[in-house]
Amino acid sequence: MSATDKPTPPDFDEEFMQAIAQWRDKNKIKDDDLILVLMEMFQIHQNHWDELRRRQMPSLAEFQADVAVLVEATKTIKDKAVKQARAVDLPIAAWAAVAALLAGLLIGRAL
């Protein structure tokens, strides 16, 4: 299955038509009743919005690809932050600490 193949959505029209037929039998609705025109109009409206949602929703493969890109970007940012946090090498930091300790001792003796 390729990434461009979209699964076909289930067809609820048959179930809808059966429910209408049962409802018409139960309530004795005639073929020329205005309510049937309104129901058809509602079905057109619902199909229109379903199609809009289908076009706007990304596929699962696209969503997974987007998440993978975000994970990779997060790793890159984390690696850069770790490198920047360790901008000073350990031996240089140790010498700076020893120099600060000696300076503190000398200043303390001078006072």
pLDDT at 7: 64
Show the 3-state SS of 3-49: CCCCCCCCCCHHHHHHHHHHHHHHHCCCCCCHHHHHHHHHHHHHHHH
More confident residue, 103 or 9: 103
Determine the Cα–Cα distance for residues 100 and 92; give it in Å rounded to an integer: 12
* Averaged confidence pLDDT in the chain: 83
**Tens digits of residue pLDDT in 17-65:** 888 889 889 988 888 888 888 888 888 898 888 888 888 777 788 888 9
pLDDT at 5: 60
Residues 6+ apart with CB under 8 A from 91: none
Per-residue pLDDT band at 86 (split at 50, 70, 90): low
Whether residue 4 has pLDDT greater than 60:
no
pLDDT at 1: 47
Determine the Cα–Cα distance for residues 23 and 33; give it in Å rounded to an integer: 13
Determine the Cα–Cα distance for residues 20 and 106; give it in Å rounded to an integer: 96
